Structure 1
Amino acid sequence: MLFGNKFTIMKNISLLTLADLPAAFQIEQASHVFPWSEKTFYSNQGERYINYKITQNNQIIGFAITQYVMDQATLFNIAIHPEHQSCGHGRALLMYLINILPEKQINTLWLEVRRSNQSAIRLYEDIGFNEVSIRKNYYPTESGKEDAIIMALPLFGG
């Protein structure tokens, strides 16, 4: 199954390299209320990962970190720099990832999202993700904990 037109969205999307990690980590820090630590961020690289960046004017403006095992992939992290949010960059990056996963024999993409992140939930639902479970009190908040919604997108391309 092909989601969108792969060739119209790939021009600014490429693999996230080791040289890109410092800039991507800065986006991580700027984009999330509770960002990953530097150690966690740098440890989510390697042969079991499919990590991409999106650039504009040769500057990294976002990234996606995805781990795969057998025929399943999990989107661990996606972030767009705050100055570039709400412009379709996150959708383009996610659609690019979704389009290449079947080529790697991945048939399901999983993710988790904060219950309060309604804009992300709307995006995921619009793309075709379905809610499959809830992890109670999973994410830290300033006043305690927040549920994580587990979502899955069947790709049927594996």
Structure 2
Amino acid sequence: MMLQLLGLWESVQDFIHTGGNVLYVVAVVLLVMWVMMIERYWYVTAIFPKTKRDIIAKWDAREDTTSWYAHKIRDCWISEATDKLDQRMLLIKTLVAMCPLVGLLGTVTGMIAVFDIMATQGTGNPRTMAAGISMATIPTMAGMVAALSGVFFSSRLEVKVKREKADLVDSLPHH
């Protein structure tokens, strides 16, 4: 078991060495994005149902649900709950969009390395140029893979948030 973990760790180190230091930035962006998506999913599935029940109970406990004031209170409760549901969703979308851009930063730094090698050693050594080209392509691939994983799950999370908002509005009838 330990030998397999060491082999996996060496593979990751080789991948990062081949792709360059920009892969650390891709990994950090990916980690932050996933932590936020997991937190939002946890909030929507574990915390928000209790908040929704509390709001519905407060609404049902009101004697006046038809006046203008009652509708404004209802709108306020819905707005507060919606704000809590929407927290960090824009940041998650931004991080998803950043992943390929950080990968492109790796492309730029890799191409700079290739041009640096060409300027100092000429084009006679293809092996050293190939290392720079891998530094240019691997971060782009890693950024795209990170973005694809984020796009799928963040869009599912967004649908879940929209559904919860609609359910809350439907649960608070206004007469």
Q: Shorter-chain-normalised TM-score: which range?
A: under 0.3
Give the TM-score taking structure 2 as reference length: 0.23
**Higher Rg:** 2
Higher helix share: 2
Considering Cα pairs closer than 8 Å and 6+ residues apart, tell me whether 1 or 2 has the greater RCO: 2
Give the TM-score taking structure 1 as reference length: 0.25
Higher strand share: 1
